[in-house]
Amino acid sequence: MTDAPEVSRSSLPIRPLIPAELVERLIAEQFPRWAALPVRPIATPGWDNRTFRLGDDMLVRLPSAAEYAGAVAKEQRWLPVLAGHLPLPIPVPLAEGTPGEIFAHPWSVYRWLDGEPATTAPIADPVAFAVALADFLLALAAVDPAGGPPPGLHNWYRGGPLSTYDGQMRAAAAELPDRDALLAIWAEARAAAWSGKPVWFHGDVASGNLLVRGGALAAVIDFGTCGVGDPACDLAVAWTLLTPPARRAFRARLAVDDATWSRGRGWALWKAAILCADGGPDAPAARQVLTQLHAESR
């Protein structure tokens, strides 16, 4: 696979917030059987998509910009296939909305999944949580990959080589005081070649996409970056969410080799370095990730 152009979701303009009234019109026009149900924005509007609750049992997701609309057809095609093989619930589409005059992109209606994002929800047993997440990823990787989407613009080249983001990583590192140490970890991750067969991966295993109920992992959502390729990108969560004991249990359950673990470290490093260099509200948490990566590297 050749290196792809350097791209990042964080560099793209974000569509203004979509009003609930527009969603009500879309539902009334395309799915009149649901027109009487209330439409309510959820607390966190999302980045790639804007999400609304439809009645009590459904949700509506609309791409926030044209760059994210390509994931709709992919999710419509593959999520019903994946769902039957996984130990936890995932979103399964109930209907696909079509582009039109009042909204220019395809969009989806899904069954509502109960739970609170791990970003804010308390986790009762971090090690058990990590093992459950590892079991989910193992089951996902075991699904037949035939015909699945390879890395590309549809998922920002998740599942592809870290070299896609080499220039962006170096630019971010240049803004940080520990530049040389960061680039040493990055070089090691890039040198850890992948020689396995392509498998299914999620592509964005982050706290906001892991739903918790009763202190335990209850569902995994947002498969817009999923695809078939190198699953190392799904390991970044080991440093962005898991505690050190949970991280060890996560790796042991997955039984990944040193090279795969190193590439996963590279994915975590890339995202954290960008957030730190940006200096926005996510920078303090990203700095904690970099501190953990430094400690493990030593």
Give the domain ranges of the chain: 9-113, 117-297
The model carries a pTM of 0.94
Residue 217 sits at the vertex; the CA angle it makes with 276 and 149, to the nearest 5 degrees, is 70
Q: Are 154 and 227 in contact (CB under 8 A)?
A: yes
Residue 288 to residues 90, 206, 294, Cα–Cα distance (Å): 29, 15, 10
Per-residue pLDDT of the chain (298 residues; tens, 9 = 90+): 334 444 454 444 445 689 999 999 999 999 999 999 999 999 876 778 999 999 999 999 999 999 999 999 999 999 999 999 999 999 999 999 999 999 999 999 999 999 999 999 999 999 999 999 999 999 999 999 999 999 999 999 999 999 999 999 999 999 999 999 999 999 999 999 899 999 999 999 999 999 999 999 999 999 999 999 999 999 999 999 999 999 999 999 999 999 999 999 999 999 999 999 999 999 999 999 999 999 988 7
* Amino acid at the residue 207: S
Give dist(CA 253, CA 61) in Å, integer: 33
Instruction: Output b/e per residue, 32-43; b: 16+ Cβ within 10 A.
Output: eebeebebebee
Q: What are the start-end ranges of the E strands in the chain?
A: 39-41, 49-54, 58-63, 93-97, 107-111, 116-117, 199-201, 210-213, 216-220, 227-229
Query: Which homologous superfamily is 9-113 in?
Result: Phosphorylase Kinase; domain 1 (3.30.200.20)
Q: Tell me, which fold does domain 117-297 have in CATH?
A: Aminoglycoside 3'-phosphotransferase; Chain: A, domain 2 (3.90.1200)
